Amino acid sequence: MRYYLRKLAFYLVALWAAVTLNFLIPRMLPGNPVDILMAKLQQRGGSPDPATRRAYELLLGTDTHESLVHQYLGYLGNMATGEFGISVSDFPTPVSTVIATSLPWTMALVGLATLISVLVGTVLGVVAGWRRGGWLDSLVPATTVLAAVPYFWLALLLVAVFGAALGWFPLLGGYDVTLNPGWDGPFLRSALYYGVLPATTIVISSAGGWLLGTRNMMVSVAAEDYVLTARAKGLRNSRIMIFYAARNAVLPTVAGFAISLGFVVAGSIVTEQVFAYPGIGSKLLQAVQSNDYALMQGIFLIITVTVLGANLLVDLLYGLVDPRIRTSG
Amino acid sequence: MVRKKILMRTRATAVLTAAVLTASACGSGGGAKPGADVTLVAYTGQSSDYQVNFNPYTSNIGGIGTIFEPLFFFNVLRAEPPQPRLGTAYSWNADGTQLSITLRDGVKWSDGERFTAQDVLFTLDMLTKHKESNSVGYNGTATAPDDTHVVIKFAQPSFVTAPNILGRIYIVPEHKWKAIANPATDPVSAPVGTGPFTLAEFKPQAFTYAANPGYWGGAPAVKKVRFLALSGNQSGQQALQAGQTDWQTGPVPDIKDIEKNYAGYQATIVPLNQIVLDTCSNTALGCTGPQTDPAVRRAIYYGLNRTQINTLAFENTASEISPGFALLHRDDAVISTRLPERTAPMQPDVGKAQQQLESAGYAKGADGVYAKNGKPLSLTVTVVSGWSDYITTLNTMTQQLKQVGIKLTAQQLSWNEWTQQRQNGRFQLILDSLNQGPAPDPYYLYSYFFATGTTAKVGTRAPQNWSRFSDPEVDRALAGLTRTDPKDTAARQPYLDTIQTRIEQAMPYVPVLTQGTVTEYHASKFTGWPTPDDLYAVPAVWQAPDNAEVMKRLKPTGK
């Protein structure tokens, strides 16, 4: 029990620290939303004049002279009640609405892709590590190369080949814009179809990491005494591989997976840029580029909470799975 | 064996490609009847999903000109009187304190209600009441003697506010908007307007306009217009390459061969923004550095090889610039004859540049760089990182000015940081551009960037006059223009002469080139695009309300 209480206390302090940084960091960015909006209007051939600036300052309420402490207290109160404010770059939409419309896309795409990548990588890693020196093992360097290739380059390459040259998959977007988003057959099919290429790039570029990690763990676990004992008992090879070696070898992978689940929410900004995919990553980019404090804080908070949540979950599960940690930690 | 395999694979790919090609060909042309139901697909550069907002006073996605119309349309590209829209005529009294507007009769809102002077009054009063919406600086008092006339009274002469009031106030329906609690923050998700289009559907990835069958000018020939959300210029270029968008603004590689690279597409280039080096020029307001000396600014002016910059950085899409900042071609009639050069020299004149420096007390050092009082003539220029054409410009300039004996150091900054620096005046030189106003009149550019009223001390935020330029003669001339009827060209000219000659002498912004805004469009699918021979509106897809004028004129070719 003490173990769990200590963990919870630690996460509460971590959450407070993260929320506070989340308040301070955006305010250290140079520029302010109105200036950036004006500069954008000007760049776009609009003709912002001094009156336009005054109107926007009033509209966005950026001309307040509240003290930083005062703002901070108000911010803490708003965070507690889930009141994230109004997005400046998507004026006048509330931040919660902006996040709600973009988060599901990222979670579905990056979440599924991460799951597939972990499963594929781990299974291949287990087999490669067990049959050391086999043909699969000799493929390990190739997957490492794929993981080392700059992600955007791989993505652009796949777009050029399968999207532009062969035309098998759509180039851009998250769904066919002539369809109405909803839980119906044609729309889901279209969303799935549009998701194949982005998901494939994530799997290709990340599976190598999981594969290598699992394979190396398998190799060291295979040298353990209990594996030798199992062999001596004359158990089936596949049984030893799965229940004796792999079960211990995938422990770090489980931890890594939980942490990467936290990052699923952060999205993959590059994926969303290359494929013009409608997710939280592109919204975060937009927020940073427009000094949209409210939207930035909203997105960062969601990311922080999920990363912390995922870590907490792993900690608790670990205590359950591995009694050694509970007592010695 | 191996060769056979490869051969087979190649053949399979070829067959597949052919199949896909036929399929896509059928999809785009086969099904649709010629002319009917062809959708115009536009991409404005929107870099993430849309959130609904069709309030013409806060929207950055649409509704301006398309759904909500102004009283008149001002074409900033041609020196011509504004064209009537919801208004049919307007006139000023002699001293510019009273504006009388005649409204169009028989116009209906898209929900069938009649449009009257009460709607115009309601809109104007809304701007007075809700300062947050008043982005045009409207400060009059309006009355409506009858259903088709509106009279606006001002406290002082206000000739120059006409383009903002007549062209940038979008009339909203009183019967819908009076129920809105706060018109400044309402997203108006179901807009009712008088314009040529109505909102057909809205999705985060795209929204679609439909032609308004009851439009007073007749329903537009293009029945559907879709605006896409992609992830920025790179994805926009991909979509253009794949023929998925019909209309886009922004540079594409190898623009002069556009018809060869993109089958069926053409491009129109319009000179609009003027590329300059902003200089923090005014020591009285706190500027420091060699660029505060006009001789240094003029030496840079003469040392540039503008032809080379145009070729290397802009694929020759930029054009000449006048040192008095009147927009060439459009403002030809008002360019001052008292300017020593009507346009900035396209070729460098190293001798003249060096002469400027030497007469200001600079002497060439052993390293080939000029110096004064032991301080070398070295300047830092900032540019936004990622603006590749501007960065190339800067690199070219650095080489060119080295020949003169001026050392430039380029510094790339993030957009946010750059904006802040420009605002605060903590810079020496910035590669930037000056924008035009709401009407084909250089007055607006002068009043934004050269007036004492729009600047501030270094360290505090200047609204627009980044160079900190302040000249009583220019201020007097600008004040004179606000009191002069724009139609009285003879009375305006002395003021414009003063401004142009003063800013040419002081040169707080060093003129570089006039930037060309490049718009690509699907000419084989639609006709009626603005071309250099007929620039009836700015062709840029993001320029509102000009884009509504273009959408209104286009006709599907049926191909």
Nearest Cα of chain A lies from the Cα of B514 at a distance, in angstroms, of 13
Q: What is the mean pLDDT of residues B295-301?
A: 96
For range A77-81, the mean pLDDT: 82
Spell out which residues of chain A touch residue B21, defining contact as CB-CB under 8 Å: 167
Nearest-by-CA chain B residue for A98: B51
Q: What is the pLDDT of residue A266?
A: 66
Whether A90 contacts chain B with CB within 8 A: yes
CA distance A118 to chain B (A): 28
Mean pLDDT over each residue of chain B, to the nearest integer? 90
Q: Do residues B267 and B518 make contact, with C-beta atoms less than 8 angstroms apart? A: yes
Is A56's CB within 8 Å of B135's CB?
yes
Least confident span in A300-304, B10-14, B515-519: B10-14
- The pLDDT of residue A146 is above 50: yes
Q: Specify which of A231-235, A254-258, B377-381 reaches the highest per-range mean pLDDT.
A: B377-381
Q: Among A19-23, B63-67, B428-432, which is the least confidently predicted range?
A: A19-23
Question: What pLDDT, on a 0 to 100 scale, did the predictor assign at position B19?
Answer: 36
Of residues B49, B135, B438, nearest to A278 (C-beta): B49
Q: What is the reported pLDDT for A323?
A: 64
CA within 13 Å, CB half, B343: 16
CA distances A264 to A108, A202, A294, A307, A314, Å, are 9, 11, 21, 9, 16
| pLDDT value of residue A288 | 84
Selected residue with higher pLDDT from B559 and A223: A223
C-alpha to C-alpha distance for B467 and B455, rounded to whole angstroms: 8
> What percent of chain B stands above pLDDT 90?
78
Is pLDDT of A64 > 70?
Answer: no
Q: Mind listing the pLDDT tens digit for each residue in A164-209? A: 888 888 888 888 877 777 778 888 888 889 989 999 988 888 888 8
Residue B49 DSSP class = -
A278 and B273 in contact by Cβ < 8 A? Answer: no
- Taking an 8 Å cut-off on Cβ atoms, the answer to whether A180 and B203 are in contact is yes
pLDDT at A77: 85
Report phi then psi at B338, rounded to 5: -85, -5
- What does the alpha-carbon distance between residue A38 and residue A290 come to, in Å, rounded to a whole number? 11
| B145 or A256, which is more confident | B145
If phi over 0 gives left and psi between -120 and 50 gives alpha, with beta otherwise, what is residue A184? beta
| Region B60-78 average pLDDT | 94
In the prediction, which pLDDT does A76 show?
Answer: 86
Alpha-carbon distance A315 to A172, whole Å?
39
User: A50, B453: Cβ pair inside 8 Å?
Assistant: yes
Name the nearest CA neighbour of A202 among A157, A161, A153, A151.
A151
Average pLDDT over residues B97-101: 96
Read off the pTM.
0.85
Instruction: State the DSSP code for B113.
Output: P
Region B511-516: mean pLDDT is: 96
Owner of token pair 């900004």: A269
Best of A32, A57, A59 to disrupt the B interface (most B CBs within 10 Å) is: A59
Mean pLDDT of B340-356: 95
Beta bridge pairs of residue B20: none
Average of per-residue pLDDT across B123-139: 92
Residue of chain B with shortest Cα separation from A42: B435
Confidence tier at B12 by pLDDT (50, 70, 90): very low
pLDDT at B7 > cutoff 70: no
Q: Using CB atoms within 10 A of its CB, is residue A299 exposed (0-12), middle (13-18) or buried (19+)?
A: buried
Mean pLDDT, residues A102-120: 89
Confidence grade of residue A317 (pLDDT, cut at 50, 70, 90): confident
Q: What is the pLDDT of residue B10?
A: 36
Work out the average pLDDT over A132-137: 83
- Amino acid at site A104: P
Distance CA B137, CA B149 (A): 22
Interhelix angle for A280-289 vs A95-130, to 10°? 130
B316: left (phi over 0), alpha (psi -120 to 50) or beta: left
Under 8 Å CB-to-CB from A309, ≥6 apart: which residues? A262
Asked whether residue A118 carries a pLDDT value surpassing 80, the answer given is yes
Please tell me the distance in Å from B337's CA to the nearest CA on chain A.
27
**pLDDT computed for residue A324 by the predictor:** 67
pLDDT at B65 over 60: yes
Hey, are the CB atoms on B416 and A36 less than 8 Å from each other?
yes
Question: Which candidate from A47, A92, A165 shows the least CB-CB separation from B53?
Answer: A92
B185 vs A contacts (CB less than 8 Å)? 59, 86, 91-92
Q: Do B231 and A273 touch (CB under 8 A)?
A: yes
Q: SS3 of B234, please?
A: helix
Residue B201 has pLDDT above 50, yes or no: yes
Contact B309, B512 (CB under 8 A): yes
B325-336 pLDDT tens trace: 999 999 999 999
Q: Pick the residue of A27, A44, A64, A175 with the most B CBs within 10 A to test the interface with B by mutation.
A: A44
pLDDT, mean of residues B344-358: 96
> Would you call B474 helix, strand, or coil by DSSP?
helix
Mean pLDDT of chain A: 83
Ranking A149-163, B93-107, B267-281 by mean pLDDT, the lowest is: A149-163
For residues B418, B421, B426, B427, the Cα torsion angle rounded to the nearest 10 degrees is 20
What's the first-to-final CA gap in chain A, in angstroms?
12
Is the CB of residue A137 less than 8 Å from the CB of residue A130? no
Q: Is the pLDDT of residue B444 over 60?
A: yes
Cβ neighbours of residue A207 closer than 8 Å, sequence gap 6 or more: A117, A120, A121, A124, A143, A147
> How many Cβ contacts (< 8 angstroms) between chains A and B?
187
pLDDT band at B21 (very low <50, low <70, confident <90, very high): very low
β-strands B39-43, B247-249: how paired?
parallel
Task: Tell me, letter by letter, the H, E, C secondary structure of chain A.
Answer: CHHHHHHHHHHHHHHHHHHHHHHHHHHHCCCCHHHHHHHHHHHCCCCCCHHHHHHHHHHHCCCCCCCHHHHHHHHHHHHHHCCCCECCCCCCCEHHHHHHHHHHHHHHHHHHHHHHHHHHHHHHHHHHHHCCCCCCHHHHHHHHHHHHCCHHHHHHHHHHHHHHHCCCCCCCCCCCCCCCCCCCHHHHHHHHHHHHHHHHHHHHHHHHHHHHHHHHHHHHHHCCHHHHHHHHCCCCHHHHHHHHHHHHHCHHHHHHHHHHHHHHHHCCHHHHHHCCCCCHHHHHHHHHHCCCHHHHHHHHHHHHHHHHHHHHHHHHHHHHHCHHHHHHC
pLDDT the model gives residue B284: 95
Residue A87 has pLDDT above 70, yes or no: yes
Q: Please give the share of chain B, as a percent, with pLDDT higher than 70.
A: 94
Banded pLDDT at B362 (limits 50, 70, 90)? very high
